[in-house]
Structure 1
Amino acid sequence: MERDDLGTMVGRLGRRLIAMEQPILARHGVTMWGYVVLSALAGGSVRTQAALAASIGADKTRLIPILDDLQERALIEREPDPADRRVRLLGLSEPGRALHRAVRAEIRSAEDALLGDLPAADREAFLRTLAALARRAPAGDG
């Protein structure tokens, strides 16, 4: 069976997902990168700005204005590390957690609508396979 290349198919799907998510993010007053940061911090595994940048594939210097904006809006907390005052420790504030939950719920609802026509077994297999492939791709790729 002839098919498009993976890059073509994933690119098309990626563009559709971004177009679907943009109005949701705009309604909540957060950028795509802001949401990426909130999502990474919601996982609790990232504590420093350098570790965050590496985990999401962002340049450290370009990440600073995003963190500044989120901090000014009281969505994240950024404090000096008592062990090394040059290092900033990051965490979500309660308003940040609430915003992340609200945005994620709307995005998941839109994803459910997108995948709704697929049989349940196909949907589960797609999500499981996509998660496995995503784990194999370093954050900085792409």
Structure 2
Amino acid sequence: MERDDLGAMAGRLVRRLIAMEQPILARHGVSMWAYVVLDALAGGAVRTQAALAGSIGADKTRLIPVLDDLQGRALIEREPDPADRRVRLLGLTDAGRALHRAVQGEIRAAEEDLLGAFSPGDREAFLRTLIALSPRAN
């Protein structure tokens, strides 16, 4: 079967997903990076700024303005680590959790529309394959 390379197909899919998500993010007043941060913190495993940067593949210095904005909007908390005052511990506030749930709910609904053309078995196989090919960084 003739087909494009995986990178070319994945790139087109990523661009389509970003275009689908941008209006949702704009309605909620968050950038893509801000949502990535909220999503990572919603998982609960990431607690320090350095760990967050590593888990989302962001440069620590580039991440600071995003964290400053989220903190200024009372969506995240950043507190010194009692064990090491140089380290900042991160967490979502109730407002941050609510915003994350709202944005994620709309994104998941849009994803369901996108995947709606596939049979339930094909959808499940696609999601299983995508999960296997794109493990979360730790």
Residue of structure 2 equivalent to 1:16: 16
In the aligned structure 1, how far is the partner of 2:9 from the partner of 2:54? Answer: 27
1:82-115 per-residue CA deviation (whole Å, 9 max, x = no partner) reads: 1111100000000000000000000000000000
Residue of structure 2 equivalent to 1:124: 124
Q: What is the TM-score when the length of structure 2 is the normalising length? A: 0.98
The residue type equivalent to 1:2 in the other structure is E
Structure 1 unmatched ranges of 5 or more: none
Q: Secondary structure at the match of 1:3?
A: coil
Q: Secondary structure at the match of 1:2?
A: coil
Residue of structure 2 equivalent to 1:68: 68
1:4-47 per-residue CA deviation (whole Å, 9 max, x = no partner) reads: 10011000010000000000000000000000000000000000
Residue of structure 1 equivalent to 2:80: 80
The residue type equivalent to 2:2 in the other structure is E
The residue type equivalent to 1:4 in the other structure is D
In the aligned structure 2, how far is the partner of 1:138 from the partner of 1:106? Answer: 24
Residue of structure 1 equivalent to 2:111: 111
Q: What is the TM-score when the length of structure 1 is the normalising length? A: 0.95
Structure 2 unmatched ranges of 5 or more: none
Q: Does 1:53 align with 2:53?
A: yes
CA RMSD of aligned residues (A): 1.0
Residue of structure 2 equivalent to 1:38: 38
In the aligned structure 2, how far is the partner of 1:58 from the partner of 1:36? Answer: 10
Q: Secondary structure at the match of 1:86?
A: strand
In the aligned structure 1, how far is the partner of 2:17 from the partner of 2:48? Answer: 29
Q: How many correspondences in the alignment? A: 138
In the aligned structure 1, how far is the partner of 2:24 from the partner of 2:9? Answer: 23
Once superposed, which parts of structure 1, at least 4 consecutive aligned residues long, lie more than 4 Å away?
none
